[in-house]
Each structure stands twice: as C-alpha cells, then as structure tokens.
Structure 1
C-alpha cells in the first residue's frame, strides 16, 4: 500500500534532530527524502557518541539510534554547498523537489545561496520550510538554539516541572524531547502546505520554531498567565493525589513501583475504587460520602489511598485496577515503553534492518493511515546515495569523477 506522501520529493539541508525528524516522518509517510550532508563531516550529529551521560552508539555496528530515529528512510548525498562546483547539482535537485527543508541560520543560508529567494528563483513552486530556535523574525532570528534552550527552558516546560524549593532545574526526560515534537509539527505544516498548493496552486514558506512549539505545549499555563496579567501563583501540591481529587496522582506500590491515577470525576469512581480495594466503609464515611465532601477532604482521602497502595505489590495492583472503569496507567521506564503491548499491537515499535543486515527496532511516528503501520528502512550511511542520486540527474561516471576530484561531492 502506498503512503500518502508517495511522489513527493523533499530536499533536506539540515542536521541534528529537530528538522531532520520532520524528514523522517515524511519518509515514513512515503516521501522521497534526499538528505544533503556536509561533503567531509556529514551531519554533525554523526559525531556525537555520548549524550545525557549515555553512550549513543553501538559497538562494532553502524546502527546509531541517535541518527536512525530522525533519519530513517532517507537517501544521503555528500555535497559541498560552499564549493561553487557543487552548485549545478544543488540547483537541479531543487528544480526536481516539492519541498526544501532546512534549519541553517540566516547567515549561512545567505552565504550558501539557499535562502528563500535563491531557491524560489530555481523552483517557484517549491515549498520552503525553515526550522529555527526562536522564529524567523524578532530579536533572536539569527540566534541558534537547541530544544534544551529554546523549547525546554525558554518555552516554559523547565519551570513547569521544577519544584519551587529545588536546587537545580529539572532536565528534559529524554534526549531530543522537544526536537521530536517539533519535527512532527513541521511535518504537519508541510502536509498542510502541500494540500494548499494542490488545491490553489499557491506555494508557501513554512516556519516552525522550537520556542513556538515549547509555548504551544505549555499553553494551558501560558494562557492562564495571560488572562491573569501576571505570573501564576505557586500552588502547593499535596504529597499524594491532586488538589480536590484523591484519585488523580501517582501512588507508590509496596515494591517501589508507581501507578498514575487520573480519574477526573472522583465522585463517580470513588465507590468503585473503594469496593475494589475492600474498603467499602470509605464510601459511607461522612468525610467522603458525596463528591463535595470528598473534594473538601481530598488530602485525607489521598493519604488513605496512599496507605492502601503501599500494602500491595505492583503485580497485585495491576490485577485490581484492571477490573476498574476509571483511568490509570503504570509509570514505565524507557525499556518498558519499548515493550508496551499497545504500542506493539499498533505497529508503533517497528522492525528495521541495519546496514549489516541485523534486525533492529525503532519507535515509529505516531500517525498511521488506514490502520497500516509504516514500513521503516534504516537511516543512510554518510553520502551513501550520492552516486545514485546524481545519476538520476543525468550525470555520467566521467562527470561524477570530475565533481569528486573538485571536492564538490562525496
């Protein structure tokens, strides 16, 4: 079955994760994504071997998850954009592409001749896409940024998850956390721009910033602050449960695991929960006898719920909670997420074969079409497809050799 983006060609001049992740999503959806890499160094992310204290490479293998996630399904061309001899190749690729995708800063785009006007002069119908740290306009338009700075810190998430009394700012829960959200956002913007072009014949310049994505995901708090006209007050959170609701919050089991309850209608689910744990007396307890009393005395109720949870093991609680209608989930680590039965049943942990022919697995992009999981192919090796792509442009072996001698291609 063909993907919805089959027949779309994307020319990606980008590195690291934020913008390349968008290319990976489009490749999952069937687009032909040609990744332009620096002719000598390749994508700078290829040089990262340790991130957040973790090794991000595999011994005796070319399979690097840090590259595979945001680059699967693409073709890599090593092209020296700063070498005039490469210009003809770039121009022909632009003419044959539907989308030009970049995260280069304005100064670099201008110097390399890949800014909007440069690309539109070659292909007036191309959709031009910029991923940035802080937006295409304003005081920081020329400033670079990572998701840890633009998305996490400046976008409000770091403040939102750092306790007032903390002696350090909380870090992102995973590498490329904001980059991955941003890449999916860019992919959605490209899809909309392609739809507009097909419907009206008009093309677009698409802009997505990490700061904008950061503000979007914290919009609940930002919007409340805008309404209040000042910073939001610090709400003291109870040790257990949530303000006004003992059935919303994380509870620890006797063997040290955590279970998250999010039953937003405590009055509806309280009797069922109490019956399931053998505490029907709590249903008629005057402190919790109706929803108003329960919410008034939520802190006391949550303390009781915490004590109940601490008397059962994780496995025992899975059995009990599995019989309830209320909403809950286990708190999973990264390995458990990768083994999650629901993810696997929906094909969202997908097989992929690496360059050595070894079977691996990657998390798939979360959008599916017609209930068919995306079929993943590995990320390209550096400049792996240079010769193939250039031959598609009509270059013969003699022309390829000449470009290589000039250092224009790898």
Structure 2
C-alpha cells in the first residue's frame, strides 16, 4: 500500500456506513485496514439490497452494492465476538494496531472486554474511535441511532426540500445518508488529528463522534442565521437563504443552476442576459437588496431564462465566467468529461463479481498519491490470511477455530 497513512494499521469493528466510511477514508490514505465481521451474516449492509453486484457472466451475486460503497481497501475476517475465544482474537489483533473504529451501542464492547479502557491496557498508544447515534454521554446516549433519525432530530430535514406551502413541500431527507457520511468524515479528521498528536506526545486517546452532533454542526450557516435572528430557518427549495440569485431556473427546454456568489457575478450575468438595468436598480444592485426582494427578482429572472435553451445559457454563462451548471442524474454524472478526467470512476478486480466499478477518492496528493488496489472484500475473504500472517496461528489452530464457529 502507498499513501500518507501507509504506516498506520487500523482495526475496523464497525458496520453499516458512518464508521465504515471513516475506515474507508483511512484505507484510501494508505492505511492497512482489517475489517471484523460476524460469521455468516457479516456487516449489516451486506443485506441492504437489491441491487447486488453482477459477475462477468451477468449473473447476480450476493454482494450488495451498498456494502461496496464503504468498504474498499479493507481485508475481511469473520469473528464471533460473543464468544470468549472470539473476544481474545480481537484483543490479539488490537495489540499491534494504531487505530480502532467501532460503532456499537454505548457500553456494548465493554461487556466483552473490548472497550477503550480494556484495549488501552494492552495497547496504551491506541487511538480508539467510537461512532454512535447520540454520543457517549447525555440522556439519549443509550438510544440506537440512524442517519434518518439524525437528519430529523438535527434540524436538517426542516430546511431541506420545497417550501411548506408549495406542492411537494414539507420535511425532506437528503438523497444520500449525508449525516452518516458527514460523521464518517468528522471521524476521519479526528483520527488523523489524534495520529498527529500521538506523533508528538506518544499518547493515544478515545474519540467520541455521534450522528446527532455531526448533524447539528452541519447546520453551519443556517444555525448562525438562527442565532442571529432568533427565528428558525425554513425550507426554501433550491434557493439559498443568504445569496440571490443562487438557485435553479427553468429554461426553454429544461433547467440549470445559476450561482451568483457575489455582486460582480450578478453584474456579469446581467450583461449577457441583456438586463443591465437590474444591476443598477437599488432594489437589486447588491446581494443584501436582492435577498430582501427575493420574490420580485426571482420572478423577473424566471421570465428571462425561459427565452433560451439550457445549452444556450450554459454557453453564454461560461463565456462570461458566471458559475452555472446542469442538473445531472447519476448516470450523467459519470459521463461528465471532468468527472472522468479526475478519476472519480475506478474499477477493481473482485473475488466474486470478477470486477467492480467504484467511486474513487476525491483526495489528490502531489507526493503520496492514492492508489486504489484492494476491492471491497467478500465476507471473510481474508480470514485465513489474517489469522496465519498477522496472528501467527497454525493451520491446525485455524481449523479448530472454524470448527468451533469462532471464525
């Protein structure tokens, strides 16, 4: 493996998405990641299907597409941690790793002697990251949590989607489990910071990351809008609460996004749209004025955009240097020349499917480039390899563990 974290070993005890996403980020960065899964069933997300992958003959496999989204770069070992011998195997694996990731309910792993305080005794410098729905403290800490719940409780759904008074209005979840992903990203950042801190002090630590905290943090400018006004922001569809025009518009044959992030861009837009009078009108000449007069300026621009096709508008806006873009479906995303040029679609060999297309990492490094080399593993694909090469078990010991149902 190569990459800026190629010296780091990670034990991934997590499942579903948030923590596995963090572990996949570390794997992308070059870390050696061992994923521990339940025998027979494995990670819960292996059952989040259809769709399943298809093999080279077009036959459907039992490998879920969902699982593959968050588990490239990892080796899979199956261990039954409910049994003492399984717990001991995890402790053995924990002795020589730098990072442990887990997303069990608060206190669950401690019952098995695998909590932070337990592992710290055998690996004092370990960085132990716990990802939960509500965190390790507080009155809600024992509740199970999922992305959908966090989006609702954390306020994100209340500001997502069309206005409540319009058709289709009302609270909406984001089209991907964005709080799972955001929590995974926060966990990744925290782990990298803890690695940097350990390099200076030699000390490991326990990281506590939760879905609800991450969603609250993710409110960003909308939270500050509330703090500044005392009023809860509301959903406004594809418009922006603080910038106008920064939204979608219907064209003669479709739609596009116009993003005038400053007054200069709005002035440029007015020039190519033959509406310079708007940029000189005190009602619309500044962003603050346009926000106050949002409905009026939007109605004017709606009429203007209907005069040309999407392609005509994109050409004019691009030539003027005004930020804009089409609204692609997922298939169109992976036909975009820029997406392809940036290596955002990759393909790796797969133990069951023959090969699997994947989304590449967006992180680009000049000196330690990311190399995607390990595909999402089949369940327990590396069990023998890890037991024998990492834990130095003999073939007889491996056979005994399998016979007992430990692995």
TM-score (norm 1): 0.87
Number of equivalent positions: 397
Distance change >3 Å, CA 300–CA 355, structure 1 → 2: same
Residues 1:101 and 2:91 are matched in the alignment: no
SS at match of 1:232: coil
Match of 1:251 among 249, 252, 255: 249
* 2:298 corresponding residue in structure 1: 302
Aligned 1:52-71 pairs, distance under 5 A: 55=51, 58=54, 59-61=59-61, 63-71=63-71
How far off is 1:346 after superposition?
2.2
User: Following the alignment from structure 1 to structure 2, what is the Cα–Cα distance between the partners of residues 354 and 402?
Assistant: 28
SS at match of 2:60: coil
User: Following the alignment from structure 2 to structure 1, what is the Cα–Cα distance between the partners of residues 239 and 89?
Assistant: 60
User: Following the alignment from structure 1 to structure 2, what is the Cα–Cα distance between the partners of residues 242 and 107?
Assistant: 42
CA contact (8 A) 1:243 1:298 kept: no
How far off is 1:219 after superposition?
2.6
User: Following the alignment from structure 2 to structure 1, what is the Cα–Cα distance between the partners of residues 251 and 299?
Assistant: 14
How far off is 1:289 after superposition?
8.6
How far off is 1:220 after superposition?
1.9
Distance change >3 Å, CA 47–CA 240, structure 1 → 2: closer
How far off is 1:154 after superposition?
1.2
Distance change >3 Å, CA 87–CA 305, structure 1 → 2: closer
Distance change >3 Å, CA 243–CA 407, structure 1 → 2: closer
* 2:393 corresponding residue in structure 1: 395
* 2:383 corresponding residue in structure 1: 386
Match of 1:260 among 254, 257, 261: 257
Match of 1:365 among 361, 365, 379: 361
How far off is 1:365 after superposition?
2.9
How far off is 1:359 after superposition?
4.2
- 284-293 or 77-86, which moves further after superposition? 284-293
User: Following the alignment from structure 1 to structure 2, what is the Cα–Cα distance between the partners of residues 24 and 356?
Assistant: 20
Distance change >3 Å, CA 354–CA 316, structure 1 → 2: farther
* 1:158 corresponding residue in structure 2: 157
Q: Deviations over 1:203-228 (max 9, x none)?
A: 11111111111011103222343455
Residues 1:172 and 2:174 are matched in the alignment: yes
RMSD of aligned residue pairs (Cα, Å): 2.8
How far off is 1:281 after superposition?
6.1
CA contact (8 A) 1:294 1:301 kept: no
How far off is 1:332 after superposition?
2.2
Match of 1:272 among 262, 268, 271: 268
Q: Deviations over 1:146-166 (max 9, x none)?
A: 11112x111111011143336
How far off is 1:40 after superposition?
2.9
* 1:4 corresponding residue in structure 2: 4
Aligned 1:311-326 pairs, distance under 5 A: 311-326=307-322
Q: Deviations over 1:90-145 (max 9, x none)?
A: 22101111111100112421222211111112211111110011111001111110
How far off is 1:179 after superposition?
1.3
SS at match of 1:71: coil
Residue segments in structure 2 that go unaligned for 5+ positions in a row: none
CA contact (8 A) 1:24 1:69 kept: no
- 378-387 or 302-311, which moves further after superposition? 302-311
User: Following the alignment from structure 1 to structure 2, what is the Cα–Cα distance between the partners of residues 5 and 376?
Assistant: 15
Residues 1:217 and 2:218 are matched in the alignment: yes
* 2:277 corresponding residue in structure 1: 282
Residues 1:136 and 2:132 are matched in the alignment: no
User: Following the alignment from structure 1 to structure 2, what is the Cα–Cα distance between the partners of residues 191 and 9?
Assistant: 12
User: Following the alignment from structure 1 to structure 2, what is the Cα–Cα distance between the partners of residues 69 and 91?
Assistant: 28
How far off is 1:241 after superposition?
6.7
Distance change >3 Å, CA 339–CA 358, structure 1 → 2: farther
User: Following the alignment from structure 1 to structure 2, what is the Cα–Cα distance between the partners of residues 244 and 403?
Assistant: 60
User: Following the alignment from structure 1 to structure 2, what is the Cα–Cα distance between the partners of residues 365 and 298?
Assistant: 38
Q: Deviations over 1:32-87 (max 9, x none)?
A: 1111101232111111214xxxx455452355321111111101011011112223
Residue segments in structure 1 that go unaligned for 5+ positions in a row: none
Residues 1:339 and 2:335 are matched in the alignment: yes
Q: Deviations over 1:356-382 (max 9, x none)?
A: 464443222332221735425311100
Distance change >3 Å, CA 308–CA 181, structure 1 → 2: same
CA contact (8 A) 1:39 1:79 kept: yes
SS at match of 1:106: coil
User: Following the alignment from structure 2 to structure 1, what is the Cα–Cα distance between the partners of residues 284 and 137?
Assistant: 57
- 242-251 or 23-32, which moves further after superposition? 242-251
Distance change >3 Å, CA 40–CA 25, structure 1 → 2: same
User: Following the alignment from structure 1 to structure 2, what is the Cα–Cα distance between the partners of residues 67 and 187?
Assistant: 19
